[in-house]
Chain A
Amino acid sequence: AQSVAQPEDQVNVAEGNPLTVKCTYSVSGNPYLFWYVQYPNRGLQFLLKYITGDNLVKGSYGFEAEFNKSQTSFHLKKPSALVSDSALYFCAVRDPSDSWGKFQFGAGTQVVVTP
């Protein structure tokens, strides 16, 4: 069975500072990993994914994430946070060996960027 954990309910950061949102996962094989962002009263928007290859993946709005197989982590990062990055962030995992497997979402991390 697959699972994903986001250990922080909320991350507070000052504008211009680096932003990190943590995610760890558990799957039986090699995972497909995704990050999504949700703004108030909107659906989730895809930011980036890791399927295979380079451990550092770049996505939308200046975000990037690093896949670390030994630590089973896929932390989301942004070098310089903006107030407009304040939103709810979800990590998701899918096990490609599980036929018609579902996306498993983390509980979400609220990011608050202060001016």
Chain B
Amino acid sequence: DTAVSQTPKYLVTQMGNDKSIKCEQNLGHDTMYWYKQDSKKFLKIMFSYNNKELIINETVPNRFSPKSPDKAHLNLHINSLELGDSAVYFCASSQGGGQGNQPQHFGDGTRLSIL
């Protein structure tokens, strides 16, 4: 049973297109996250939702828009894709939000390549 699942695993598309990545967790956690991992493997938080409410919104271009239809799902929509958006995007979840001491559980990532 996959705890945090992301689709698609690979995404290859042209510059200027719009694409979405979906994430679902079956752990019953109340908090979900999106991270971007660049080519140097540096991990950067993008967004976090707690019980469907946005709680962390880092300095991310407004072409990126997260949506959480319920606390088990967190999707990421990207408009007008640019070359610099090429990266691996990870979804994660945890219990207890910002003051919790529980670790995050990560999906296996979505590898986005912009041509």
Whether a CB of chain B sits under 8 angstroms from the CB of A88 is: yes
Decide if B99 touches A43 in the complex (CB within 8 Å).
no
Query: Which B residues are in CB contact (< 8 Å) with A36?
Result: 103, 106
Query: Bound complex: CA of A107 vs CA of B38, how far in Å?
Result: 11
Decide if B106 touches A45 in the complex (CB within 8 Å).
yes
Residue of A nearest to B97 (CB): A100
Segment of B14-22, B41-49, B63-71, B72-80 engaged in the interface with chain A: B41-49
Q: How many A-B residue pairs have CB under 8 A?
A: 61
Query: Bound complex: CA of A58 vs CA of B99, how far in Å?
Result: 23
Whether a CB of chain A sits under 8 angstroms from the CB of B108 is: yes
Query: Which A residues are in CB contact (< 8 Å) with B105?
Result: 46
Chain B: interface residue total (CB-CB under 8 A): 24
Given contacts A46-B105, A100-B98, 16 further A-B contacts (CB under 8 A): A36-B103, A38-B41, A42-B108, A42-B109, A43-B4, A43-B109, A44-B104, A45-B106, A46-B103, A49-B103, A88-B41, A100-B56, A100-B99, A101-B99, A107-B40, A107-B42
Q: List 26 A-B contacts (CB under 8 A).
A: A32-B101, A36-B103, A42-B108, A43-B90, A43-B92, A43-B107, A44-B90, A44-B104, A44-B106, A45-B106, A46-B105, A49-B103, A94-B101, A96-B101, A98-B98, A99-B99, A100-B50, A100-B56, A100-B98, A101-B99, A102-B56, A102-B98, A107-B40, A107-B41, A107-B42, A108-B42
